[in-house]
């Protein structure tokens, strides 16, 4: 029987992001954490205090720490055995154990122990389920954030190239989607880049402040580890630090319950929500410009825009960004509710939600940025259409300049203002009712009250007079962006391919 599969994996997200949240990556990380725990315990001098042959024989079925008091010893052979099976995950065995125990961590401990008979007595020694579960979640989310960072930097770089290329291309700007003072296409693109730069700052801050849970025990007091080390507080603290370093972290959270605070998940998914919001705005702008025929997103030679209307060139990639971005933005509410609803030192009503909401937020954001990069890298600008739209509205915008120019020549400002009002009203009526062209300038040229020549009017209509510092602002802003891109040069050069 065919079963439902996740569209994020089938259609949208990259293989790299899918691997980060794969079972292989998850459970191999669990095993790496068990190795790190055993290695660190050994390095801190966990030795046998009395003879116990069970330490090196596979006949200790109860893995509870307290049953090994007095015979604790971790050998190099045990650690070597564990390392040899980090990626050799016996899923069928783990599945059978989970059906019996109804506990995923215990099932994988027992499955690992089957492969590591020498290490069986010391696997997961002193730890609780969250030692592997929560630490792995942090490790996986850090890997996913680093991939998002790479995608983000490359998207910013492509948008910067686009902005620089079109920094002088004048276009009609809009407020309320009504014609307003002109800008340039490049300046408009800096608005997209600036949003992504805000997201980059938040992402970097979140990454820099991400810490490992460490080994805090069942209620966050490290009691089991204090027992193992005979009350030596310094060794317990050193144990956490050693594990953190082995897993690529410099710090652990100072305090916790059994889990790290679920606010960490909220901060991480808030970063993804921010990226989704920025991409959504970008996609809406692309869709509006596409409607005006000023721009096309990439459209392959064999691509079909509509099953009914063969001529259609729908901006489907931008629409997909909008659709996925809406999902990610809403999904950021999940960790907020989870963080706020935790009970005392631990409750399990977070688990099922987190298994779904966290991976899917990353998978969707991966798809969003891949699409944004793809669109930016291949979109087509139509300067003639852009100039046509600007020319259609420019006469109305030029009237203030015309008014001031004529006043300087000695004309009455109030009389000219009234004449402009009358001519503008009649012109707008002609355009809207008859579909006629904008003839406002010719009306003014014929009006003796203005006493202005066509040559003078054409000079006042030169578009660069209306874009202010758009070009200069673009250049100055891109210099700031360049600093960030240079600092992250090792991330540049991705070859991003979208599936559909």
Q: How far apart are CA 334 and CA 336, in angstroms?
A: 5
Q: Is the pLDDT score of 48 beyond 60? A: no
Beta strands in 247-370 (DSSP E): 295-296
* pTM (predicted TM-score): 0.89
pLDDT at 397: 85
Most confident among 225-229, 268-272, 420-424 (mean pLDDT): 268-272
Q: Is the pLDDT score of 150 beyond 80? A: yes
pLDDT at 311: 61
For residue 130, what are the contacts with CB-CB under 8 A and spacing of at least 6?
213, 216, 258, 259, 346
CATH number 1.10.275.10 is the correct assignment for the domain at 16-127: yes
The string of pLDDT tens digits covering residues 283-300 is: 999 999 999 999 999 876
Q: Is the pLDDT score of 56 beyond 60? A: no
Q: At 299, list the tokens.
A: 């459209």
pLDDT at 396: 86
The string of pLDDT tens digits covering residues 236-251 is: 999 999 999 999 999 9
Looking up tokens 């009203």 gives: 425
CB-based contact 453:172 (threshold 8 Å) = no
The string of pLDDT tens digits covering residues 449-474 is: 898 988 888 888 888 888 999 999 99
Burial 7-16 (b: 16+ CB within 10 A, else e): ebbeebbbee
Q: How many CB atoms lie within 10 A of CB 270?
A: 16
**Is 306 noted as a catalytic residue in this protein?**
yes
The string of pLDDT tens digits covering residues 345-399 is: 999 999 999 999 999 999 999 999 999 999 999 999 999 999 999 988 888 888 8
CATH of range 385-465; options 2.20.25.240, 3.40.50.620, 3.40.50.300, 1.10.40.30: 1.10.40.30
The string of pLDDT tens digits covering residues 27-45 is: 999 999 999 999 999 999 8
Q: How many CB atoms lie within 10 A of CB 462?
A: 11
Query: What average pLDDT does this structure show over 129-156?
Result: 97
CB-based contact 381:185 (threshold 8 Å) = yes
Q: How many CB atoms lie within 10 A of CB 312?
A: 11
**Residue ranges of domains in the chain:** 16-127, 130-170+185-214+250-381, 385-465
**Is 176 noted as a catalytic residue in this protein?**
yes
Q: What's the full length of the chain, in residues?
A: 500
Name the H helices within 116-173.
129-165
Torsion of CA 284, 289, 291, 295, to 10 degrees: -120
Minimal CA–CA distance to 294: which of 152, 390, 418, 213?
390
Q: How confident is the model at residue 303 (pLDDT cuts 50, 70, 90)?
A: low
For residue 159, what are the contacts with CB-CB under 8 A and spacing of at least 6?
189, 192, 193, 196, 376
Mutual angle of helices 185-208 and 129-165, in 10-degree steps: 160
Q: Which residue out of 50, 176, 301, 307 is catalytically annotated?
A: 176
- Phi, psi angle pair for 431, to nearest 5°: -65, -45
% of the chain with per-residue pLDDT over 70: 92
Quick one: which H or E segment has residue 14?
none
Q: Which residue out of 23, 103, 233, 306 is catalytically annotated?
A: 306
% of the chain with per-residue pLDDT over 90: 78
**In CATH, what class is 130-170+185-214+250-381?**
mainly alpha
Q: How far apart are CA 184 and CA 167, in angstroms?
A: 6
The string of pLDDT tens digits covering residues 307-350 is: 667 566 789 999 999 999 999 999 999 999 999 999 999 999 99
């Amino acid at each position: 029987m065919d079963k439902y599969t996740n569209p994020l994996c089938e259609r949208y997200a990259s293989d790299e992001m899918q691997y980060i949240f794969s079972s292989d990556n998850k459970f191999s990380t669990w095993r790496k954490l068990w190795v790190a725990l055993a290695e660190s315990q050994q390095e801190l001098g966990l030795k046998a205090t009395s003879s116990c042959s069970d330490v090196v024989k596979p006949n200790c079925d109860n893995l509870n720490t307290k049953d090994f008091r007095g015979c604790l010893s971790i050998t190099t052979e045990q650690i070597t055995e564990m390392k040899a099976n980090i990626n050799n995950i016996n899923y069928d065995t783990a599945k059978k154990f989970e059906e019996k125990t109804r506990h995923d961590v215990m099932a994988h401990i027992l499955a690992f122990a089957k492969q590591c008979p020498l290490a069986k007595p010391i696997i997961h020694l002193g730890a609780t389920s969250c030692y592997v579960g929560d630490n792995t979640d942090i490790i996986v989310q850090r890997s996913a954030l680093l991939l998002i960072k790479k995608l983000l930097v490359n998207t910013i770089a492509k948008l910067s190239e686009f902005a620089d290329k079109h920094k002088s291309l004048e276009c009609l700007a809009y407020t309320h989607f009504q014609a307003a003072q002109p800008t340039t296409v490049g300046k408009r693109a800096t608005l997209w880049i600036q949003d992504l730069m805000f997201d980059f700052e938040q992402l970097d801050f979140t990454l820099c402040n991400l810490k490992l849970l460490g080994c805090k025990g069942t209620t966050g007091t490290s009691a089991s580890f204090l027992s193992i080390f005979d009350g030596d507080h310094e060794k317990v603290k050193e144990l956490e630090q050693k594990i953190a370093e082995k897993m690529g972290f410099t710090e652990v959270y100072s305090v916790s319950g059994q889990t790290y605070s679920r606010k960490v998940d909220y901060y991480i998914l808030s970063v993804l929500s921010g990226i989704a919001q920025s991409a959504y705005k970008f996609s809406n702008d692309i869709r509006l410009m596409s409607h005006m025929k000023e721009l096309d997103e990439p459209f392959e030679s064999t691509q079909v825009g509509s099953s009914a209307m063969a001529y259609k060139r729908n901006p489907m990639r931008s629409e997909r960004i909008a659709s996925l971005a809406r999902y990610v933005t809403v999904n950021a509410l999940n960790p907020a509710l989870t963080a706020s609803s935790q009970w005392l030192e631990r409750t399990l009503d977070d688990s099922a939600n987190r298994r779904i909401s966290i991976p899917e937020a990353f998978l969707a954001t991966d798809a969003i940025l891949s699409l944004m990069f793809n669109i930016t890298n291949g979109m087509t600008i139509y300067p003639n259409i852009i100039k046509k739209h600007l020319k259609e509205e420019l006469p109305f915008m030029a009237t203030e300049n015309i008014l001031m120019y004529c006043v300087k020549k000695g004309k009455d400002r109030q009389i000219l203002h009234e004449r402009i009002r009358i001519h503008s009203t009649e012109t707008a009526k002609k355009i809207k009712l008859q579909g006629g062209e904008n003839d406002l300038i010719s009306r003014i040229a014929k009006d003796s009250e203005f006493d202005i020549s066509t040559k003078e009017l054409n000079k006042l209509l030169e578009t660069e007079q209306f874009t202010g510092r758009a070009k200069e602002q673009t250049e100055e802003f891109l210099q700031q962006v360049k600093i960030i891109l240079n600092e992250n040069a090792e991330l540049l050069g991705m070859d991003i391919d979208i599936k559909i």
